[in-house]
Amino acid sequence: MKQLSGNQIRQMFLDYFKEKGHMIEPGASLIPNNDPTLLWINAGVAALKKYFDGSEKPRCNRIANAQKSIRTNDIENVGKTARHHTFFEMLGNFSIGDYFKEEAIPFAWEFLTSEKWMGIDKNRLYVSVYTDDEDAYRIWTEKCGVDPKHILKTDDNFWEIGKGPGGPDSEIFFDRGEKYDPEGLGERLFFEELENDRYVEVWNIVFSQYDCDPSIDRKDYKELPQKNIDTGMGLERLVALIQDGETNFDTDLFLPIIHATEKLAKYPYEGEYKMAYRVIADHIRTVTFALSDGANFSNSGRGYVLRRVLRRAVRYGLKLGLEDAFLYKLVPVVADTMQDFYPYLQEHVEFNQRLIKIEEDTFKKTLKNGQALLDEEIQKAQNGKLSGEIVFKLYDTYGFPFELTQEIAQESGLEVLRDEFDAQMQLQKERARNARNTKESFASQHVDLMEFTQESQYIGYDHLECDGTIIALFKDGKRVDALEEEGQIILDTTCFYAESGGQIADTGVLEVDGIKAQVLDVQKAPNKQNLLQVKLEQGVLKEGMTLHQVVDSKKRAAITANHSCTHLLQSALKQVVGSHISQAGSYVCEDYLRFDFNHFEKLSKEQLVEIEDLVNQYIDANYTVTKEVMDIEDARKSGATALFNEKYGDRVRVVTMGDVSKEFCGGCHVDHTSQIGLCKIISEESIGSDIRRITAKTKYAAYKECAHQQAQLEHIAKSAKQKSTKEIELKVDSFLEQMHALQKENENLKNQIFALKSKEWILEAKECGSIKALIKKVQGMDASALKDIVSNLKGQDENIVCFFVNVNDNKVVFVAGAGKEAVRKGVHAGKLVKQAAMLCDGNGGGKPDMAQAGGKDISKVDEAMKLVENTLKEI
């Protein structure tokens, strides 16, 4: 077996399949493009879903790729096992209706065993096939020469996820030898399918040949009209086998990161510390790649997943003595290790380091927030137990390890319900699984649409009216002869824009003698034609009819102005905020535009004013807007901005606005910037950690927004008894100044009252054992005021214990506090209020020096006060 690096193995795989006539598909971003069913790209085939479900036709039906992927459903196993990862690369070869089993199986065998390629000993390979898949068994034995004694037939070898394409699969396993078989069970491990580290799955080949439907028997599944091949081989796993690494982590893909971490840590990569090193190495790869692909930390969606991954790495860093932020220091190591195949990582090192450093530094603040929630829940806890749901929330939202919550709860005399916590953890896993299956992984193939390849010409950039002949009609994806109500049509020529690039579709009317139909929506068909969703108002549509098309010109004009404005807005953002600004999404309709971008913090009012002013300067400059189709390499050389996650063909359309904007764009645009009229920014907000959104309006909608704001200003002026809006700013400043003065005066009065009360009440304190105790009922003061008085009293006497009781609306509130000396002698304010509250059918608790609790039974108040007094006497 050859000695190869991870980079060499990846490249060898791609070279092999290129030699076999495959198109090498560039790896897609980890962030799925226009696929709401996926949070992350989680397999090689996920990035090619559009080809398998027929929504798009590939340039070549033979495809191979090396696809970076993220899966976090088993994150708790990462570091514990030899092969679990949150980030990994999947090597895959695919056939979209081209070759099938007869070639797919020999391809895999040749790559693994040929001396020209991997050169693995055939005797160390084992194969599994689906029980009823005689074709696969025959090909393995007769065509590849695999010993039947090395083949396992099993019902488990069938791949399906809900309704849609699926079929039998075949797996290849590598025998790592007796070193990984401590009990000496040999082939029993493989044929009895026992959990083991000796026979390791290398490659899975899925034969997608059936239209699966779990509601019926598998034997009744219908054959697909187009049979596909989908294979996957984990790079990390293959590299470990080739390099004879004890685990996937003991290879040149991970060891540079582990060694760099060793230089920062207190303990070496050995024994009990290995798991922590492996967690860190895996997780920093995940975070580095995800951030480089445009993800950001947040409290929802993929940003939440990313935050959870980072927190887990930080926690394991503590086990290695890494108290300060350290993960950000590993980002350059990841970039250096992976730069041969992913050179773009180097461009993002500084950016990623900053994001990770900020996230690491704020993690302690997150723990503080979690502590505040925990204190609150301890006060509310009943029956001496802390809910497992709360413990899970602390774990899941604030990153609190279970053991930390348990320790803090025990200090307050509470038991943590571990079973409830585990149940919540299981529910989360089930929710994650259900979310993945909510929508089908691959839609059932719309064969008629997929097979319709006749071209349709779009001329809508230059025409809002035109004639076009119907070349196909569809109902729910199936081709039909006529439409009487609602369905889809494709015209040989159309001026209706199909939704894409964030711009919504055109609407309008189709007409001919005696026939009228509304165009409700336009989408791209699998073979790139514009597919019009139509609703008949009169007549019947049939193939061959020529229709007059009229686009809603008012709507198109508004959309066009808004789309052009997004380009100017991005340019202004880069000018005012910084060149790091990049588009993270957009939405352009007739009413407004939205532009999402990457940035660390909220934009200041001054920045927004400057951005809006600059955009309107661009509009007023009346720049000529040119649209030119050119080779993609020429477009890149010209400096045109492209979307990072977007896939482009060999030819692209470039939209240029004077010398201020040049972008790849297939949308509709004005001819001169002055046609945008006016830009008014409506809002700037966060839609996720480090992703901001600006919403704006143009043309008449922008004017109406300005008019509305003027009307609001005039109303304020009238309320402030000002004759015009010119003086309103000074008047508001005067009002605010007066309000702040009154607030300060009120605060001073409150402090004087509390000081007087404190001097008065401290005289009522009685000797109670070795401490002074002030146990008192009070009226007309809320818990906050009582806490202020307690703090004042503690400042006067460190040996004092205060216990205040406030009865209101048939409820009782207890507030207690203890000075430093009293606490040293054993007083615990939290326990005092807890025992009083429990006597009054309530609960609560808190810290030794300050606590609050409540109860419902006010008849027991006097008894509770006596109980507290007796408790203090025993100290």
Q: Angle between the 728-762 and 699-719 helix axes, to the nearest 10 degrees?
A: 60
Spatial separation of the C-alpha atoms in residues 622 and 485, rounded to whole Å: 46
What is the rounded distance in angstroms from the CA atom of residue 40 to the CA atom of residue 35? Answer: 10
DSSP E strands: which ranges in 97-235?
125-130, 151-154, 158-159, 164-175, 199-212, 222-234
- CB contact at 8 A, 261 and 281: yes
Task: Provide Rg for the chain, Cα atoms.
Answer: 34
Q: Which residues contact 640 (CB under 8 A, 6 or more apart)?
A: 652, 654, 656, 662, 663, 664
CA distance 484 to 541: 7
Q: Is the dihedral of CA 299, 302, 305, 307 positive or negative?
A: negative
Task: Report whether 563 belongs to an annotated binding site.
Answer: yes
Q: Decide: residue 753, CB within 10 A, 0-12 exposed, 13-18 middle, 19+ buried.
A: middle
For 265, the token pair is 């840590």
Is residue 599 a known part of a binding site?
Answer: no
Give me the amino acid identity at 461: Y
Q: Write the DSSP string, 386-426.
A: E-HHHHHHHHHHH---HHHHHHHHHHTT-EE-HHHHHHHHH
* Phi/psi of residue 510, nearest 5 degrees: -115, 135
Of 545, 546, 520, 522, the residue nearest 535 (C-alpha)? 520
Give CA–CA dist 569/574, Å, rounded.
9
Residue-wise DSSP of 110-132: HHHH-TTTT---GGGEEEEEETT
| 409-to-383, 393, 415, 743 alpha-carbon distances in Å | 13, 15, 7, 39
φ, ψ (nearest 5 deg) of residue 442:
-130, 125
Residues 6+ apart with CB under 8 A from 755: 792
Largest CA distance in the chain: 104
Q: Which residues pair with 598 in a beta bridge?
A: 691
* Residue 463 counted as an annotated binding residue: no
Structural tokens at position 567: 């380009």
C-alpha distances in Å from residue 849, one per residue of 415, 587, 799, 800: 22, 54, 11, 11
Q: What spatial distance separates the first Cα and last Cα of the chain, rounded to whole Å?
A: 76
Locate 722 and state its tokens: 């000002």
Encode 170-199: b = buried (16+ Cβ within 10 Å), e = exposed.
Answer: bbbbbbbeeeebeeeeeeebbbeeeebbbb
What does the alpha-carbon distance between residue 64 and residue 236 come to, in Å, rounded to a whole number?
17
On whether 567 is known to bind a ligand per the annotation, the reply is: yes
- Tell me how far apart the alpha carbons of residues 93 and 14 are, in angstroms, rounded to a whole number: 9
Query: By three-state DSSP, how is residue 687 classified?
Result: strand
Structure tokens at 541: 């549509």
- Please name the residue ranges forming H helices in 439-500: 447-451
Calpha distance 776→814 (Å, rounded): 10
What's the CA gap between 39 and 70, in Å, rounded?
9
Pairing of strands 546-551, 508-512: antiparallel
- The two beta strands, 766-768 and 691-698, are unpaired
Assigned token pair, 86: 């949150």
| Run of H or E including 812 | strand 811-818
Q: Which residues are annotated as a binding site for Zn(2+)?
A: 563, 567, 665, 669
Q: Which residues are annotated as a binding site?
A: 563, 567, 665, 669
